[in-house]
Amino acid sequence: MFIGEYLHTVDAKGRLFIPARFREGLGERFVVTRGLDRCLFGFPLAEWGKLEERLRRLPFARADVRAFSRLFFAGAAELEVDKQGRILIPATLRDYAGLARDVVILGVSSRVEFWAKEEWERYSAQTQAAYEEIAEKLVDFDFPATD
């Protein structure tokens, strides 16, 4: 399980340091793809395989399934952690998420997310204001409320 928030910097060659705690869970090789909300998603290979299987079962006759699958899989790259604990994020993925310098790396349960610092701050501030309202809506998904 991935939890926590870290701030690191993309170097001039497009390399990003991955926190040791996340490297343990991601493994030496893992998949990074376009995420939602202008971030990147990183998945351990086993988790990527589960996700791929679930998406494969969706009806490809639906235009929205085809569109999502194309963007999700075409944008994916299998990355390898170097000896210094860094990954080289492809330019297309860096451009998609706006990763120019400061990157916030988040642990989100089964995945890791990579955000441009400014984009994360904007998203976080906007979402924080509605945090309790969002929590109330999760009850509709059988999410246990805590007292």
Q: Tell whether 28 is covered by a domain.
A: yes
Under 8 Å between Cβ of 94 and 100: yes
In a domain, 25, yes or no: yes
pLDDT at 131: 85
CATH code at position 40: 3.40.1550.20
CA torsion 22-27-33-35 (nearest 10°) is -30
Residue 114: both structure tokens together: 């990579």
Query: Is residue 146 situated within a structural domain?
Result: no
Mean predicted confidence (pLDDT) in 72-100: 97
What residues have CB less than 8 Å from 69, skipping those under 6 apart?
A: 55, 58, 60
Name the domain count of the chain.
1
Q: What is the pLDDT of residue 146?
A: 55
Alpha helices for the chain (secondary structure H): 20-26, 45-56, 63-74, 91-97, 117-128, 131-138
67 three-state secondary structure: helix
In this prediction, residue 71 has a pLDDT band, given cuts at 50, 70 and 90, of very high
Residue 147 falls inside a structural domain: no
pLDDT tens digits for range 45-62: 999 999 999 999 999 999
Residue 48, in any domain of the structure? yes
